[in-house]
Amino acid sequence: MPVRTADAALAGVRRGVGAERLTGRTALVTGSSRGMGRAAAIRLAQEGALVAVHYNRDEAAAREVVTSVEKDGGRAFAVRGELGVDGDVDGLFAVLEEDLRERTGSTDLHILVNNAGVMGGVGADEVTPEQFDRIFAVNAKAPFFLIQRALRNMPDGGRIINISSGLTRFANPDEIAYAMSKGALEQLALHFAKALGPRRITINSVAPGITRNGNPVFDIPEVVEQMAGLSAFGRVGEPEDVADVVAFLATDEARWITGSFVDATGGTLLG
């Protein structure tokens, strides 16, 4: 059976356009200049949100996302900020608030998507303390303090979505530190959900599986076929597969879902 890169239903279809379930709301998607973050930013904009496209180094890629959103009639702007370093969150929000005020007359932030992350790709016996600290600084510490800071801007009924990983449920010895950091990230949803319930702010974890992310490995047909075989659907994930889940959790339809772990791995390693 040939391996498909996406379901036929996904091909050439702009989903969500016209629905505009997020009109009047603002969103910050970290690490959204490429991959799943890019797809999430575009998808939220299709739903009517004004989206802050966060990036660290690749300004051109972030500007391209903004252009793509605007071409489709949406609204977005780029905002730079390095995560995992001293002063990262305060510096990012100083710029974000200025941009939001200029565009909306307010600094309200309705949706936060913690997508930015770094992987290790190093065996457990080779991970250095510096690498370990960097992974946790970006993947776990930064999201914690982004949430803490965002809550000052987030009205009641807001949405927080953390992008975790299927590696918290199945093993890859070369990504132990990464999986540990994503496990810590998932705890934010569980415990913040309890604290934020009285404000009707939901917080959930979304765990992608093998998803196209620009890595050259996805250009090797035999490797893609092997990876596709791990999914119940016989294909690798597309960024839009995850973006659709993020968009749903950001809407009012997901108001009764909080503190949850959403498996978005395409049924990877079900047996």
Residues with catalytic annotation?
164-165, 178, 182
CB-based contacts of 80, cutoff 8 Å, min separation 6: 54, 55, 56, 59, 62, 95
Q: Tokens representing 95?
A: 């710029």
Name residue 64's amino acid. Answer: E
Give the separation between CA 162 and CA 156, rounded to whole angstroms. Answer: 18
For Cα atoms 44, 50, 55, give the angle at the middle one, nearest 5 degrees.
Answer: 80
Q: What are phi and psi of 248, to 5 degrees?
A: -60, -45
User: Per residue in 166-201, is it b (16+ CB within 10 Å) or e — as a string?
Assistant: bbbbeeeebbbbbbbbbbbbbebbeebbeebeeeeb
CB-based contacts of 264, cutoff 8 Å, min separation 6: 206, 207, 208, 209, 237, 241, 242, 245
CB-based contacts of 205, cutoff 8 Å, min separation 6: 161, 162, 163, 164, 185, 186, 188, 189, 260, 261, 262
